Homo-oligomer: A and B are copies of this chain.
Amino acid sequence: MSIVTIIGSGMMGSALAFPARENGHVVRLVGTPLDREIIDCVRKTNQHPKFERPFPEGVKPFQFEEMESAIQGADFVICGVSSFGVEWFAQEVLPRLPDSLPVLSVTKGLMDQPDGALLCYPQVWQQTLDRLGKTNELCAIGGPCTSYELVAHDQTLVAFCGKNPETVKKMKATMETDYYHVIPTTDVIGIESAVALKNGYALGIALTIGLNIRRSGNEDELHFNSQAAVFLQASREMHKLMQMQGAETEDSYYVGVGDLYVTVYGGRTRKVGILLGKGLNIDEALDELKGVTLESLVVAARVAKALKIKAAKGEVNLMDFPLLMHVDEIITDRKVVNIPWDEFANYLRR
Protein backbone atom coordinates (compact mmCIF):
# COMPACT_ATOMS: atom_id res chain seq x y z
CA MET A 1 0.00 0.00 0.00
CA SER A 2 1.28 3.44 -0.94
CA ILE A 3 0.28 6.96 -0.09
CA VAL A 4 -0.44 9.17 -3.10
CA THR A 5 -0.97 12.89 -2.62
CA ILE A 6 -2.59 14.76 -5.49
CA ILE A 7 -2.03 18.52 -5.49
CA GLY A 8 -4.53 20.34 -7.66
CA SER A 9 -8.11 19.08 -7.70
CA GLY A 10 -9.06 20.08 -11.22
CA MET A 11 -10.58 17.44 -13.44
CA MET A 12 -7.40 15.62 -14.43
CA GLY A 13 -5.81 15.64 -11.00
CA SER A 14 -9.04 14.44 -9.45
CA ALA A 15 -9.56 11.76 -12.10
CA LEU A 16 -6.26 10.18 -11.13
CA ALA A 17 -7.67 9.55 -7.66
CA PHE A 18 -9.82 6.81 -9.18
CA PRO A 19 -7.16 4.30 -10.29
CA ALA A 20 -4.97 5.11 -7.27
CA ARG A 21 -7.73 4.58 -4.72
CA GLU A 22 -9.21 1.57 -6.50
CA ASN A 23 -5.81 -0.06 -6.22
CA GLY A 24 -6.16 0.23 -2.46
CA HIS A 25 -3.75 3.10 -1.87
CA VAL A 26 -4.23 5.99 0.50
CA VAL A 27 -5.21 8.94 -1.69
CA ARG A 28 -5.10 12.52 -0.45
CA LEU A 29 -6.57 15.15 -2.74
CA VAL A 30 -5.28 18.67 -2.05
CA GLY A 31 -7.00 21.68 -3.61
CA THR A 32 -5.05 24.74 -4.70
CA PRO A 33 -6.32 28.08 -3.36
CA LEU A 34 -8.47 28.21 -6.54
CA ASP A 35 -10.00 24.81 -5.76
CA ARG A 36 -11.58 25.71 -2.42
CA GLU A 37 -15.14 25.03 -3.55
CA ILE A 38 -14.20 21.76 -5.18
CA ILE A 39 -12.70 20.49 -1.93
CA ASP A 40 -15.74 21.70 0.02
CA CYS A 41 -17.91 19.78 -2.44
CA VAL A 42 -15.81 16.62 -2.13
CA ARG A 43 -16.10 16.88 1.66
CA LYS A 44 -19.88 17.10 1.45
CA THR A 45 -20.64 14.69 -1.40
CA ASN A 46 -17.48 12.64 -2.07
CA GLN A 47 -17.83 13.85 -5.65
CA HIS A 48 -16.02 16.35 -7.88
CA PRO A 49 -18.62 18.90 -9.04
CA LYS A 50 -17.82 18.20 -12.72
CA PHE A 51 -17.81 14.41 -12.53
CA GLU A 52 -20.80 12.17 -13.04
CA ARG A 53 -19.86 9.67 -10.35
CA PRO A 54 -18.51 9.89 -6.81
CA PHE A 55 -14.93 9.13 -5.88
CA PRO A 56 -14.25 5.63 -4.63
CA GLU A 57 -14.75 5.49 -0.86
CA GLY A 58 -11.85 6.81 1.17
CA VAL A 59 -10.32 9.57 -0.97
CA LYS A 60 -9.28 12.22 1.55
CA PRO A 61 -9.86 15.87 0.64
CA PHE A 62 -7.55 18.65 1.93
CA GLN A 63 -7.61 22.41 1.56
CA PHE A 64 -4.30 23.93 0.53
CA GLU A 65 -3.46 25.11 4.08
CA GLU A 66 -3.51 21.46 5.08
CA MET A 67 -0.92 20.42 2.51
CA GLU A 68 1.80 19.74 5.10
CA SER A 69 -0.19 16.93 6.67
CA ALA A 70 -1.33 15.70 3.25
CA ILE A 71 2.23 15.04 2.12
CA GLN A 72 3.29 13.34 5.39
CA GLY A 73 4.59 9.89 4.53
CA ALA A 74 3.53 10.12 0.88
CA ASP A 75 5.27 7.86 -1.64
CA PHE A 76 4.84 10.43 -4.39
CA VAL A 77 2.99 13.61 -5.19
CA ILE A 78 0.88 14.05 -8.31
CA CYS A 79 0.93 17.61 -9.64
CA GLY A 80 -2.48 18.23 -11.14
CA VAL A 81 -2.38 21.99 -11.66
CA SER A 82 -3.15 23.49 -15.07
CA SER A 83 -0.38 24.99 -17.17
CA PHE A 84 -1.32 28.36 -15.71
CA GLY A 85 -0.29 27.05 -12.28
CA VAL A 86 3.24 25.99 -13.16
CA GLU A 87 4.96 28.92 -11.48
CA TRP A 88 2.64 28.72 -8.51
CA PHE A 89 3.61 25.07 -8.05
CA ALA A 90 7.29 26.02 -8.24
CA GLN A 91 6.89 28.76 -5.64
CA GLU A 92 4.35 27.29 -3.24
CA VAL A 93 4.77 23.53 -3.41
CA LEU A 94 8.24 22.46 -4.52
CA PRO A 95 10.06 24.22 -1.65
CA ARG A 96 7.90 22.38 0.88
CA LEU A 97 8.36 18.84 -0.45
CA PRO A 98 10.90 16.61 1.33
CA ASP A 99 13.73 15.73 -1.05
CA SER A 100 12.79 12.08 -0.96
CA LEU A 101 9.34 12.77 -2.39
CA PRO A 102 9.11 12.34 -6.18
CA VAL A 103 6.63 14.30 -8.29
CA LEU A 104 4.46 12.87 -11.05
CA SER A 105 3.12 15.78 -13.09
CA VAL A 106 0.10 15.73 -15.35
CA THR A 107 0.44 19.38 -16.33
CA LYS A 108 1.07 19.84 -20.05
CA GLY A 109 2.85 22.70 -21.77
CA LEU A 110 6.05 24.34 -22.87
CA MET A 111 7.72 27.58 -21.84
CA ASP A 112 9.59 29.64 -24.41
CA GLN A 113 12.92 31.17 -23.44
CA PRO A 114 14.59 34.35 -24.73
CA ASP A 115 17.05 32.25 -26.78
CA GLY A 116 14.28 30.36 -28.55
CA ALA A 117 14.51 27.24 -26.41
CA LEU A 118 11.28 25.56 -25.34
CA LEU A 119 11.37 24.05 -21.88
CA CYS A 120 8.92 21.44 -20.72
CA TYR A 121 7.65 21.82 -17.18
CA PRO A 122 9.89 19.21 -15.54
CA GLN A 123 12.80 21.25 -16.95
CA VAL A 124 11.32 24.47 -15.59
CA TRP A 125 10.82 22.90 -12.16
CA GLN A 126 14.30 21.38 -12.25
CA GLN A 127 15.67 24.95 -12.39
CA THR A 128 13.70 25.75 -9.23
CA LEU A 129 14.95 22.62 -7.48
CA ASP A 130 18.53 23.39 -8.49
CA ARG A 131 18.17 26.90 -7.11
CA LEU A 132 16.80 25.49 -3.86
CA GLY A 133 19.46 22.79 -3.73
CA LYS A 134 16.74 20.14 -3.71
CA THR A 135 16.84 16.69 -5.30
CA ASN A 136 13.23 15.61 -5.86
CA GLU A 137 12.74 13.39 -8.89
CA LEU A 138 10.44 14.90 -11.51
CA CYS A 139 8.33 12.46 -13.51
CA ALA A 140 5.35 13.16 -15.74
CA ILE A 141 2.26 11.66 -17.36
CA GLY A 142 1.59 12.19 -21.06
CA GLY A 143 -0.65 10.65 -23.63
CA PRO A 144 -4.25 10.38 -24.76
CA CYS A 145 -6.48 10.66 -21.72
CA THR A 146 -9.50 12.82 -21.10
CA SER A 147 -10.40 13.02 -17.44
CA TYR A 148 -14.11 12.24 -17.80
CA GLU A 149 -13.35 9.06 -19.73
CA LEU A 150 -10.82 8.01 -17.12
CA VAL A 151 -13.50 8.54 -14.47
CA ALA A 152 -15.86 6.42 -16.58
CA HIS A 153 -13.22 3.63 -16.56
CA ASP A 154 -12.78 3.70 -20.30
CA GLN A 155 -9.72 1.85 -21.52
CA THR A 156 -6.86 4.35 -21.51
CA LEU A 157 -3.17 4.14 -22.44
CA VAL A 158 -0.70 6.79 -21.30
CA ALA A 159 3.03 7.12 -20.75
CA PHE A 160 4.78 7.78 -17.43
CA CYS A 161 8.19 9.31 -18.03
CA GLY A 162 11.06 9.93 -15.67
CA LYS A 163 14.83 9.79 -15.65
CA ASN A 164 14.94 7.00 -13.07
CA PRO A 165 13.29 3.85 -14.47
CA GLU A 166 12.87 2.41 -10.98
CA THR A 167 10.79 5.36 -9.84
CA VAL A 168 8.66 5.18 -12.99
CA LYS A 169 8.19 1.47 -12.42
CA LYS A 170 6.91 2.06 -8.89
CA MET A 171 4.53 4.78 -10.03
CA LYS A 172 3.22 2.51 -12.80
CA ALA A 173 2.71 -0.31 -10.28
CA THR A 174 0.78 2.05 -8.01
CA MET A 175 -1.46 3.60 -10.65
CA GLU A 176 -2.06 0.90 -13.27
CA THR A 177 -5.45 -0.83 -13.30
CA ASP A 178 -7.37 -3.02 -15.72
CA TYR A 179 -8.51 0.14 -17.53
CA TYR A 180 -5.59 2.55 -16.97
CA HIS A 181 -2.52 1.24 -18.79
CA VAL A 182 0.90 2.81 -18.43
CA ILE A 183 3.83 2.87 -20.87
CA PRO A 184 7.00 3.43 -18.80
CA THR A 185 9.71 5.50 -20.47
CA THR A 186 12.76 7.60 -19.63
CA ASP A 187 12.11 10.06 -22.49
CA VAL A 188 10.83 13.01 -20.46
CA ILE A 189 11.57 15.63 -23.11
CA GLY A 190 10.02 13.56 -25.89
CA ILE A 191 6.78 12.81 -24.04
CA GLU A 192 6.40 16.26 -22.54
CA SER A 193 7.08 17.99 -25.85
CA ALA A 194 4.68 15.72 -27.73
CA VAL A 195 1.76 16.19 -25.40
CA ALA A 196 2.24 19.96 -25.24
CA LEU A 197 2.59 20.39 -29.00
CA LYS A 198 -0.50 18.36 -29.75
CA ASN A 199 -2.67 21.08 -28.21
CA GLY A 200 -1.62 23.65 -30.82
CA TYR A 201 -1.96 21.16 -33.64
CA ALA A 202 -5.36 19.92 -32.52
CA LEU A 203 -6.52 23.51 -32.89
CA GLY A 204 -5.25 23.45 -36.49
CA ILE A 205 -7.26 20.31 -37.24
CA ALA A 206 -10.39 21.72 -35.64
CA LEU A 207 -10.18 24.73 -37.97
CA THR A 208 -11.19 22.49 -40.86
CA ILE A 209 -14.32 21.37 -39.02
CA GLY A 210 -15.42 24.99 -38.79
CA LEU A 211 -14.45 25.71 -42.40
CA ASN A 212 -16.58 22.82 -43.59
CA ILE A 213 -19.54 23.88 -41.47
CA ARG A 214 -19.27 27.36 -42.97
CA ARG A 215 -19.04 26.03 -46.52
CA SER A 216 -21.80 23.43 -46.22
CA GLY A 217 -24.03 25.72 -44.20
CA ASN A 218 -24.85 23.11 -41.58
CA GLU A 219 -23.37 21.40 -38.55
CA ASP A 220 -23.04 18.08 -40.33
CA GLU A 221 -19.46 17.28 -39.53
CA LEU A 222 -18.87 14.33 -41.83
CA HIS A 223 -15.93 16.02 -43.48
CA PHE A 224 -12.90 14.00 -42.61
CA ASN A 225 -10.69 14.45 -45.67
CA SER A 226 -9.63 17.89 -44.58
CA GLN A 227 -9.24 16.92 -40.91
CA ALA A 228 -7.02 14.05 -42.04
CA ALA A 229 -5.05 16.34 -44.35
CA VAL A 230 -4.22 18.65 -41.48
CA PHE A 231 -3.56 15.64 -39.23
CA LEU A 232 -0.99 14.50 -41.81
CA GLN A 233 0.70 17.91 -41.78
CA ALA A 234 0.51 18.13 -37.99
CA SER A 235 2.26 14.75 -37.74
CA ARG A 236 5.09 16.02 -39.91
CA GLU A 237 5.59 19.20 -37.94
CA MET A 238 5.20 17.60 -34.51
CA HIS A 239 7.77 14.98 -35.35
CA LYS A 240 10.23 17.59 -36.58
CA LEU A 241 9.72 19.71 -33.47
CA MET A 242 10.19 16.72 -31.20
CA GLN A 243 13.45 15.87 -32.91
CA MET A 244 14.57 19.49 -32.44
CA GLN A 245 13.62 19.30 -28.78
CA GLY A 246 15.83 16.25 -28.33
CA ALA A 247 13.27 13.45 -27.96
CA GLU A 248 15.12 10.21 -27.20
CA THR A 249 12.80 7.72 -28.83
CA GLU A 250 10.35 7.52 -31.71
CA ASP A 251 7.91 6.00 -29.29
CA SER A 252 7.14 9.37 -27.72
CA TYR A 253 6.00 10.53 -31.12
CA TYR A 254 3.41 7.74 -31.30
CA VAL A 255 2.18 8.82 -27.87
CA GLY A 256 1.91 12.31 -29.37
CA VAL A 257 -0.17 11.31 -32.39
CA GLY A 258 -2.45 9.27 -30.14
CA ASP A 259 -2.85 12.32 -27.94
CA LEU A 260 -3.46 14.52 -30.98
CA TYR A 261 -6.20 12.12 -32.05
CA VAL A 262 -8.07 12.37 -28.76
CA THR A 263 -7.57 16.13 -28.43
CA VAL A 264 -9.36 16.90 -31.68
CA TYR A 265 -12.45 15.58 -29.90
CA GLY A 266 -11.53 17.02 -26.57
CA GLY A 267 -13.81 19.94 -25.97
CA ARG A 268 -12.22 23.33 -25.55
CA THR A 269 -9.56 23.25 -28.23
CA ARG A 270 -12.04 21.82 -30.68
CA LYS A 271 -14.56 24.55 -29.88
CA VAL A 272 -12.16 27.41 -30.49
CA GLY A 273 -10.91 25.83 -33.70
CA ILE A 274 -14.43 25.39 -35.03
CA LEU A 275 -15.37 29.00 -34.24
CA LEU A 276 -12.22 30.26 -35.98
CA GLY A 277 -12.87 28.00 -38.95
CA LYS A 278 -16.41 29.31 -39.19
CA GLY A 279 -14.96 32.77 -39.76
CA LEU A 280 -14.72 34.42 -36.36
CA ASN A 281 -11.46 36.11 -35.51
CA ILE A 282 -9.66 35.15 -32.36
CA ASP A 283 -11.19 37.94 -30.25
CA GLU A 284 -14.71 37.01 -31.30
CA ALA A 285 -14.04 33.32 -30.69
CA LEU A 286 -12.67 34.00 -27.23
CA ASP A 287 -15.65 36.22 -26.43
CA GLU A 288 -17.97 33.39 -27.34
CA LEU A 289 -16.14 30.90 -25.12
CA LYS A 290 -15.65 33.23 -22.19
CA GLY A 291 -14.06 31.58 -19.22
CA VAL A 292 -12.46 28.53 -20.77
CA THR A 293 -8.82 27.67 -20.25
CA LEU A 294 -7.09 27.83 -23.60
CA GLU A 295 -3.83 25.97 -23.23
CA SER A 296 -3.89 25.26 -26.95
CA LEU A 297 -3.61 28.95 -27.80
CA VAL A 298 -0.85 29.50 -25.29
CA VAL A 299 1.28 26.61 -26.46
CA ALA A 300 0.89 27.41 -30.17
CA ALA A 301 1.87 31.05 -29.64
CA ARG A 302 4.81 30.13 -27.42
CA VAL A 303 6.20 27.57 -29.86
CA ALA A 304 5.81 30.00 -32.75
CA LYS A 305 7.55 32.72 -30.78
CA ALA A 306 10.47 30.43 -29.99
CA LEU A 307 10.74 29.27 -33.59
CA LYS A 308 10.83 32.85 -34.86
CA ILE A 309 13.74 33.59 -32.54
CA LYS A 310 15.57 30.50 -33.80
CA ALA A 311 14.75 31.36 -37.40
CA ALA A 312 16.21 34.86 -36.94
CA LYS A 313 19.42 33.16 -35.81
CA GLY A 314 19.34 30.87 -38.85
CA GLU A 315 18.78 27.78 -36.72
CA VAL A 316 15.43 26.74 -38.15
CA ASN A 317 13.45 27.31 -41.33
CA LEU A 318 9.93 28.55 -40.64
CA MET A 319 8.79 26.92 -43.89
CA ASP A 320 9.15 23.60 -42.08
CA PHE A 321 6.14 24.63 -39.96
CA PRO A 322 3.48 26.14 -42.25
CA LEU A 323 0.59 24.83 -40.13
CA LEU A 324 1.93 26.10 -36.84
CA MET A 325 2.82 29.45 -38.40
CA HIS A 326 -0.72 29.81 -39.72
CA VAL A 327 -2.24 28.94 -36.35
CA ASP A 328 0.02 31.55 -34.81
CA GLU A 329 -1.01 34.18 -37.39
CA ILE A 330 -4.61 33.56 -36.42
CA ILE A 331 -3.94 33.80 -32.70
CA THR A 332 -1.26 36.45 -32.58
CA ASP A 333 -1.95 38.62 -35.65
CA ARG A 334 -5.75 38.16 -35.68
CA LYS A 335 -5.68 36.85 -39.23
CA VAL A 336 -8.59 34.88 -40.66
CA VAL A 337 -8.29 31.21 -41.40
CA ASN A 338 -6.74 30.42 -44.78
CA ILE A 339 -5.12 26.99 -44.61
CA PRO A 340 -1.89 26.91 -46.66
CA TRP A 341 -2.74 23.75 -48.62
CA ASP A 342 -0.14 24.34 -51.32
CA GLU A 343 2.59 24.52 -48.72
CA PHE A 344 1.45 21.16 -47.36
CA ALA A 345 1.36 19.61 -50.85
CA ASN A 346 4.80 20.91 -51.80
CA TYR A 347 6.36 20.44 -48.37
CA LEU A 348 8.92 17.90 -49.57
CA ARG A 349 10.00 19.83 -52.63
CA ARG A 350 11.19 22.99 -51.01
Interface residues of A (CB under 8 A from B): 143-146, 149-150, 152, 154-157, 176, 181-185, 208, 211-212, 216, 222-229, 231-233, 235-236, 239, 249-251, 253-255, 257-259, 261-262, 265-266, 339, 341-342, 344-349
Tell which of B150, B154, B228 touches A144, judged by Cβ atoms closer than 8 Å: B228
Query: What residues of chain B lie closer than 8 Å to A341, measured between beta carbons?
Result: 155, 157, 181
Query: What residues of chain B lie closer than 8 Å to A183, measured between beta carbons?
Result: 344-348
**A157–B345 contact, CB under 8 A?**
yes
* A250-B239, A254-B239 known; A228-B155 Cβ under 8 A: no
* A157-B345, A228-B144, A229-B155 known; A149-B181 Cβ under 8 A: no
* A144-B232, A232-B254, A232-B257 known; A225-B262 Cβ under 8 A: yes
Majority secondary structure, A binding face: helix
- Of all chain B residues, the one with the shortest Cβ separation from A259 is B228
* Residue from A149, A228, A344 having most chain B Cβ neighbours under 10 A: A228
**A224–B185 contact, CB under 8 A?**
no
**A348–B223 contact, CB under 8 A?**
no
In the bound complex, how far is the Cα of B134 from the Cα of A192, in angstroms?
53
In the bound complex, how far is the Cα of B265 from the Cα of A225, in angstroms?
10
New A-B contacts (18) at CB < 8 Å, excluding given A184-B349, A227-B262:
A143-B232, A145-B225, A146-B225, A154-B212, A155-B211, A156-B226, A157-B228, A157-B229, A176-B345, A181-B229, A181-B341, A183-B344, A222-B265, A228-B259, A232-B257, A232-B258, A232-B261, A236-B251
26 pairs across A/B with beta carbons < 8 Å? Answer: A143-B232, A144-B225, A146-B225, A149-B226, A152-B216, A155-B211, A155-B225, A155-B341, A156-B226, A157-B229, A157-B341, A157-B344, A181-B229, A181-B345, A224-B261, A227-B261, A227-B262, A228-B258, A231-B258, A232-B255, A232-B261, A233-B254, A235-B253, A235-B257, A251-B347, A251-B348
* Residue from A229, A235, A342, A349 having most chain B Cβ neighbours under 10 A: A229
**A224–B157 contact, CB under 8 A?**
no
Distance between A195 CB and nearest chain B CB, rounded to angstroms: 12
- Of all chain B residues, the one with the shortest Cβ separation from A235 is B254
**A231–B250 contact, CB under 8 A?**
no
* A154-B225, A155-B339, A266-B224 known; A235-B208 Cβ under 8 A: no
* Residue from A176, A226, A254 having most chain B Cβ neighbours under 10 A: A254
**A233–B345 contact, CB under 8 A?**
no
Distance between A219 CB and nearest chain B CB, rounded to angstroms: 15
In the bound complex, how far is the Cα of B157 from the Cα of A149, in angstroms?
32
**B261–A261 contact, CB under 8 A?**
yes
* A223-B149, A239-B250 known; A157-B233 Cβ under 8 A: yes
Distance between A139 CB and nearest chain B CB, rounded to angstroms: 16
In the bound complex, how far is the Cα of B186 from the Cα of A119, in angstroms?
37
